[in-house]
Amino acid sequence: MIAYDTNILIYALEGTSEWARAAQAVVQQGERDGAVLSVLAWQELMTGALLKGNGLDSTVASVLSDLGATKFVPVSQTICERAVALTKRFGKQVYGYDAIHLATALEHKAMAFVTNDKALLGVHIDGLDIRGL
């Protein structure tokens, strides 16, 4: 099972950036092998789509609901505690939603976390392969 950052879904859905194909491959891998993401990734995507307008939020909601092997999991107190511990360890390099995303991956025993966030790519956590596109 893998986990990935919200930016991977953004690139995959928009399909216009230089990272689109690589991001689409990551999402496809998640659909093949299983993926776990924080429900906050869902919220980030839906909020961005809503603010862009033109009914994009309906389109994004439909695409997200079609992801069968990708699970959006709730933020639990255990995940929050792990996120705080990550921020304590890494400081501003890992905080906020990023800390939640990584803690979710750890809590659900993902083998890898894919991101295009340069700050996160510099983080080393035993048992979690943090890699870029």
**For residue 116, what pLDDT is reported?**
96
**For residue 23, what pLDDT is reported?**
98
Element (H, E) at 113: strand 112-114
Tens-digit pLDDT profile for residues 18-31: 999 999 999 999 99
- Asked if 113 contacts 129 with a C-beta cutoff of 8 angstroms, the reply is yes
Domain covering 2-131, topology: Rossmann fold (3.40.50)
CA angle 91, 93, 97 (to 5 degrees): 100
Own/partner long-range contacts of 89-97 (Cβ < 8 Å, ≥24 apart): 90/123, 93/119, 93/120, 93/122, 93/123, 94/119, 94/120, 94/123, 97/6, 97/38, 97/40, 97/44
**For residue 122, what pLDDT is reported?**
94
Could you report the average pLDDT of every consecutive run of 10 residues in the chain (133 residues)? Answer: 97 94 98 98 96 92 95 98 98 97 98 97 97 96
**For residue 59, what pLDDT is reported?**
92
Q: Residue ranges per domain, the chain?
A: 2-131
Helix/strand/coil percent split, the chain, to 5: 60, 15, 25
- Asked if 74 contacts 96 with a C-beta cutoff of 8 angstroms, the reply is no
**For residue 91, what pLDDT is reported?**
97
